[in-house]
Amino acid sequence: MAIQSWSHIGICCSDLDRSTAFYVNVLGFRELFTMDLGPEFAATMEIDGQFTSRMLARPDMRLELVRWTAPEGMGERERRPMNQFGFTHLAFRVEAIDDLWELAEEHGGTAQRHTVSRMEGAGGSVTGAVYLTDPDGVRIECMAGVPDLSTL
């Protein structure tokens, strides 16, 4: 089997509309489509149940929000430790690390202000990073002053 291209990242959420508002209004995604699914994906999802899938997109990535209705979604809805195996965070380049704090909190997320890191770069430039969390605790790193790796 040959890989054709990258497709998307999936995130299980507790409230589809709240999570959609966060990713659209804070991180610039747009809604592509929403589908109610169930038994036809039981083998792939490893759960025989019902869920709603909402695909969001930005020019540089696609994100699937999954909201389980039967059985209901489960979990802590808190940030996972960075040294816990598995998915740790999404990351975005931003103009300034504090640009999105209020917007994130307006749309159900949290600005983790205590995670601010700054480092002096070449020629006196400043690189900075901070974490936001989405309404269900997914870490989102906001980095300023870092190179655009999409051109490499």
pLDDT, tens digit only, all 152 positions of the chain: 688 888 999 999 999 999 999 999 999 999 999 999 988 888 888 888 999 999 999 999 999 999 999 999 898 888 888 889 888 999 999 999 888 999 999 999 999 999 999 988 766 777 899 999 999 999 999 999 888 888 87
Number of domains in the chain: 2
Q: Domain range spanning residue 57?
A: 9-70
Query: pTM for this one?
Result: 0.90
Contact (CB, 8 A) for 12 and 73? yes
Strands 50-58 and 30-37: antiparallel
Contact (CB, 8 A) for 143 and 97? yes
CATH number for 15: 3.10.180.10
- The verdict on 66 and 105 lying in the same domain is no
